[in-house]
Amino acid sequence: MKRIKSFLFCCIAISLLVISGLASSETIEAENHKIVISKNGDAISVKETVTIRGNSQEYYDLIYFSVSSEAENINVLIQNSEVSFSPDESKDKYQCNISSFGIPQLSSIQLVISYSIPSTVKIFEKAFLRNSTNVTVTFNEKTIFSGTNLKEGNSFRLLLYEPTEAPISWYIVISIALLVILLAVTTIYSFRKQKTTKIKEISYESEELLQTKKSLLMSLLKDLEKQHRAKKISDETHNKLKEHYKQQAVETMRKIDDIKSEGK
């Protein structure tokens, strides 16, 4: 009798272990996780679109998601239907009960989470609650992160950077730089020559280069004003660049006047 009881106990224990093992193998993974971030006035808008799929015959019940602690105005859609959510015990983690939807886990569903964070936030943090096959993050229509096969528990911190202002015509800046180098070489060369005629020739070439540099600087200043009026650069950037190139233009014109006075 004792042996029979022991045998039955072992059978029950093994059955429980098998059931437990099957339950633990039931997972929900993210096939795609797309995060779109855009700056909108004094706030930053975030939209996360997640396609998830389970691997069991059960129906979806609790769906979990996480957002940063600064998130405000959170809205959740599942299969294009707005659903309610409640905080979970874990920090910055929420849950949605969709058992009434009657969707089997073998079917994929789309989870869309929209929220906003303050514009003062410079670092975007994301922790993953499930394995994710493909993850992309864009900020102001520029991809700042792309990854595959991120595991549950992984997280990242991304710098939300503004695109560098580059409104000026860079070919003008490069031309000015080349002219400055050319002018320096010409000046050094002039000091190595002793003949008066050669010095005059070099002076004439230097004046010609200075005139070209002056024209380019004036074009650069006009282009700068045009970009500023079109609000493509900030007031601060405009003022700094304008002052810098204005000083170069004044200095160039002074050198031209000096050469002309020496030639008289």
pLDDT at 133: 92
Please indicate whether residue 102 or residue 166 has the higher confidence score (pLDDT). Answer: 102
Q: Which of 159, 191, 217 is the last residue of a domain?
A: 159
Please indicate whether residue 211 or residue 100 has the higher confidence score (pLDDT). Answer: 100
CATH value at residue 122 = 2.60.40.1730
Residues 37 and 115 both lie in one domain: yes
Confirm whether 93 is domain-assigned: yes
- 177, pLDDT greater than 80: no
Global model pTM greater than 0.75: no
DSSP 165: P
Residues 242 and 179 both lie in one domain: yes
* 205 within 8 A of 188, measured Cβ to Cβ: no
Give the span between the Cα atoms of 153 and 110, in whole angstroms: 21
Residues 81 and 189 both lie in one domain: no
Residue 103, H or E segment: none
Residues 104 and 35 both lie in one domain: yes
Neighbours of 218 (CB within 10 A): 14
Q: How far apart are the first and last CA of the chain?
A: 129
Question: What domain range is 118 assigned to?
Answer: 25-159
Confirm whether 118 is domain-assigned: yes
Residues 189 and 133 both lie in one domain: no
Confirm whether 18 is domain-assigned: no
pLDDT (tens digit per residue) in 58-79: 899 999 999 988 899 999 999 9
Please indicate whether residue 33 or residue 197 has the higher confidence score (pLDDT). Answer: 33
Residues 154 and 177 both lie in one domain: no
Residues 41 and 120 both lie in one domain: yes
Confirm whether 5 is domain-assigned: no
Closest CA to 122 of 159, 97, 157: 159
Confirm whether 134 is domain-assigned: yes
Average pLDDT over residues 207-213: 77
Confirm whether 114 is domain-assigned: yes
Confirm whether 3 is domain-assigned: no
Q: Which of 138, 159, 180 is the last residue of a domain?
A: 159
Residues 32 and 152 both lie in one domain: yes
The total number of structural domains in the chain stands at 2
Residues 33 and 149 both lie in one domain: yes
Residues 36 and 143 both lie in one domain: yes
